[in-house]
Amino acid sequence: MLDIIKAILFGIVEGITEWLPISSTGHMILLNEFVKLDVSPEFWEMFLVVIQLGAILAVVVLFWNKLFPFRFKEKPVIQKDIFSMWFKIVAACIPAAVVGIFFDEKFEELFYNPVSVAIALIVFGIAFLMIENRNKSLKPRINSLSEITYTSAMIIGLFQLIAAVFPGTSRSGATIIGGLLIGVSRTVAAEFTFFMAIPVMLGASLLKILKFGFAFSGTEMRILLAGMIVAFLVSVFVIRCLMGYIKKHDFKVFGWYRIVLGILVLAYFYVIK
């Protein structure tokens, strides 16, 4: 029962941090320093990734009309713009997918630690502040998903690659920064980031489950399901709030949060601990 409660806590953190540009993996690694699940290292490695499927399901539910290209009214209708968007998303995900398949374990060994997370939090926090200051007097040139070209999608995908290598960067944070740099509006950058997460996390979760195997114990299955369900419920709330927030505000608050958190993490591991 205690591990179920801990899994719920991890689900809450995942649901909040997956969509805010503050790094879900980074927060999960940091939370694990203080609230450890009584599970094997192999299960924890898998849990850290697969719990994100609950958060991803929230995107599918909330944005179904923008994601599903088929409509069934008097006769079936195919929305070509949605198909086109999916091709762009797949193209944008290729760099991170290739690196994840061949180098995932090496990057985990090198960078999945609190100090690397703290540095990435600070660096990309500063990046948010600088880019938002630069964009203050600029109007976005891409204001809808249909205006995103294959070139723009690939540029955003390369920023996602940075997040795939360095935990603490934040996949959503890196891709939003990439979008803002090339003139994508905040709302469109956030939506495209959400949609890119679907194939990325489905693929990453499948790889982790195949590596772990399907021989879950009853306790392991309950822990995983508890985390995923809570992550889904919290994600629905957070996504709705975030989309409302960025219509009127910029991302600076998340930049400052990242910088402060990164400094606190470095202080804890170098001074206090």
H or E element that contains 4: helix 2-17
Q: What backbone torsions phi and psi does residue 196 show, to the nearest 5 degrees?
A: -60, -25
* Cα(132)–Cα(138) distance, integer angstroms: 10
Q: What is the pTM of this model?
A: 0.89
Residue 15 pLDDT grade (very low, low, confident, very high; cuts 50, 70, 90): very high
Tokens of 110: 């090198």
Output the pLDDT for position 6: 94
Tens-place pLDDT, residues 105-130: 777 777 777 888 889 999 999 999 99
Of 239, 3, 249, 197, whose CA–CA distance to 89 is shortest?
197
Tokens of 193: 């980031």
Of 194, 152, 241, 176, whose CA–CA distance to 61 is shortest?
194
CB 125 within 8 A of CB 262: yes
The one-letter amino acid at 113: N
Q: DSSP readout, 183-230?
A: TB-HHHHHHHHHHHHHHHHHHHHHHHHHHH-S---HHHHHHHHHHHHH
What count of residues does the chain have?
273
Residue 29 pLDDT grade (very low, low, confident, very high; cuts 50, 70, 90): confident
Tens-place pLDDT, residues 174-225: 999 999 999 999 999 999 999 999 998 888 888 888 888 888 898 999 999 9
Tens-place pLDDT, residues 50-106: 999 999 999 999 999 999 988 877 777 888 899 999 999 999 998 888 887 777 777
Tens-place pLDDT, residues 147-171: 999 999 999 999 988 887 888 888 8
What are the residues whose beta carbons fall under 8 Å from the beta carbon of 81, sequence distance 6 or more? 145, 146
Which pairs with CB-CB distance under 8 Å and at least 24 residues apart come from 269-273? 269/114, 269/115, 269/118
* Cα(97)–Cα(103) distance, integer angstroms: 10
| Tally of structural domains, the chain | 1
- Give the structural domain span for 249: 2-272
**Which stretch of 7-16, 102-111, 246-255 has the lowest confidence by average pLDDT?**
102-111
H or E element that contains 78: strand 76-78
Range 218-243 burial, b when 16+ CB lie within 10 A, else e: eebeebbbbbbbbbbbbbbebbeebb
Output the pLDDT for position 71: 80
Instruction: Please provide the distance, in angstroms rounded to a whole number, between the alpha carbons at the two ends of the chain.
Output: 29
Q: Which DSSP symbol is given to 76?
A: E
* Cα(53)–Cα(203) distance, integer angstroms: 10
